[in-house]
Amino acid sequence: MTAGAFAGLSLDVPRIVGIINVTPDSFSDGGEALAVDDAVRRGRELIEAGADILDIGGESTRPGAKPVGVGQEITRVEPVVRALADEGYTVSIDSRRASVMAAAIEAGAKVINDITALTGDPESLALAAESDLPVILMHMQGDPGTMQGNPQYDDAAKEIFEYLQGRVEACREAGIGRSRIAVDPGIGFGKTLAHNLDILNRLDVYKDLGCPVLLGASRKSFIGHISREEAPKDRVPGSLAAVLSAYARGVRLFRVHDVTETRQALAVWQAIEKN
C-alpha cells in the first residue's frame, strides 16, 4: 500500500484513532466516558498517549445492541466533540445517522466514520459529500442487533473488497474524491472467527481500492475465541498482535482503545525493521 495521506495526516507513519465511547453499554468500556467531563478527559489522555484522531461515538454497535434515539445520540456526542475540537484536536464522529453527523460537524468534527459506509441513512451520502470532510467506510453484514446471528460468505475477504469497491465508487459519483476516503473491512461486524482471520490474513488485497485501510480489531471477541475467552480489557496483547500483523500488510490507520500500548508496539516493530 502506498503511504498517501488521510485527514491531513501523512501515512508514511502509522496513525492512531483513539476510541471514545460516550455510551453506557459499549462492549469494552461502556459507561466509562458517558459523562461529558469524563469523555473530554479521556480524549486529552488519548492525545497525550499519542492518538492522532479522536473517534467519538454515542451509540453502541456491539453485537446485539439496540439503537438509541437520534436526539439522545446527539446529546451524548455534541458537547464532547465541541470541547475537544475547540482544544484543537482532530475529531471523528462515529455515527450512521446524517443528523448526528451534521450536529457533530457543526461542533467541529473533521472526519465522518460510518459503520454502514454511508448507506444507513438516505441523507448521509449527500451530507458527507457537501461537508468536504474525509470519510471512513466500513463493511458490516446485517445490523448490530442481528449481525452475529449467522453471517455467511463464500469468500469473506473478496466479497468485502467488492462491497467496499462499490461504496468507494458510489462516493466518487456523489462528489467524494478518493483522496477523502478510507476503508475499514469491519472486523467482528457480521463475521465469524474464520471470516475475521481470513480478512486479517489478506488485508493487503485492499490496497487495490486505492484508499487507506483502517483496522478496528481492538479488544474484539475473536481474540478471546482464539485464546482463553478473556474479558475485553484482557485482550490487549491480542489486539497488539493484530495491529502488528496488519502493519506488516500495509495498514497505517488503527482504531484502538489502548493508544500507549499500540504506539509502543509499533515503535519497536519499526525500529527492528529499520535496523
CA atoms of 3 and 141, how far apart (whole Å): 29
Ramachandran quadrant class, 31 (left: phi over 0; alpha: psi -120 to 50; beta: rest)? left
Catalytic residue among 220, 235, 249, 252: 220
Q: Among this protein's residues, is 220 annotated catalytic? A: yes
Q: How far apart are CA 137 and CA 116, in angstroms?
A: 7
User: Angle of helix 70-86 relative to helix 36-49, nearest 10 degrees?
Assistant: 50
255 is catalytic: yes
Q: Which residues are CB-neighbours of 239 under 8 A, at least 6 positions away?
A: 217, 218, 219, 220, 223, 256, 257, 258, 261, 262
Residue tagged active-site, from 76, 110, 219, 255: 255
All three cell numbers of 157, joined, read 475477504
DSSP 66: P
- Do residues 128 and 171 make contact, with C-beta atoms less than 8 angstroms apart? yes
CB 218 within 8 A of CB 256: yes
Residues catalogued as catalytic? 220, 255
